[in-house]
Amino acid sequence: LCKAAGDFLSTRWKTEWWDGLGAWCRKIKQQASHNKVRTNASPKNLSQSLPMREIMIPGRSGDDGFRITKKSMADQVSGGGGLGQYASPIRTWEAVVKLLTAIVSYVRIEDNMFDEILELLAEAMEKDRDVRDALEVINADAVWAVRYERGLVEWTPAPVMEGVVFPEMERVS
């Protein structure tokens, strides 16, 4: 739709963005990152945080056929039992990244909307070169600045030129 309609959608996307689309995109990103943290929890960490409980397990030992066993609740919780990259919030976020990339690629947007989209896609542009390329077409300096702030730009010495003094690039870690 963005590719076919182009700038015709500019005012529509602007209206939608400030009427709640921007907030919705931030919410989806937050849900996806929360889901990644939850599915990356290790069983070791779970077992340390969950209590030990005595439970009855049917078995063939003892007179009555039951035995009491101490078992951690973490044994019942599978570490990484979530759907990982196939979980709904993550799939929704991937679709949002594609939508925002299409908007930036084919629709004229205002600077403040671009700044918000750039902030949202800062992590995605490191994983997907197409996202970064689309953002750089609009404002390569802003993309560089965001990457620099995150410590993703390689430090280079200041150029030397007669009659001009360039400030040294600060190392950001």
pLDDT-derived band at 79 (thresholds 50, 70, 90) equals very low
At 84 the pLDDT is 59
Residue spans of beta strands (DSSP E) within the chain: 52-58, 66-72
- Hey, what are 31's tokens? 């849900």
Does 49 share its domain with 115? no
Residue 168 domain flag: no
Does 95 share its domain with 128? yes
Half-sphere exposure of 149 (CA within 13 A, CB side): 10
What is the tally of structural domains in the chain? 2
The percentage of the chain sitting over the pLDDT mark of 70, rounded to a whole number, equals 69
Residue 156 domain flag: no
Residue 117 domain flag: yes
Residue 171 domain flag: no
Cβ(104)–Cβ(117) under 8 Å?
A: yes
pLDDT at residue 120 tops 90: yes
Residue range(s) defining the domain that contains residue 53: 42-79
Does 32 share its domain with 109? yes
Higher pLDDT, 49 or 110: 110
Enter the pTM of the model: 0.66
Cβ(10)–Cβ(107) under 8 Å?
A: yes
Does 129 share its domain with 108? yes
At 58 the pLDDT is 57
125-165: pLDDT as tens digits: 999 999 999 999 999 999 999 998 898 888 788 889 999 99
Residue 110 domain flag: yes
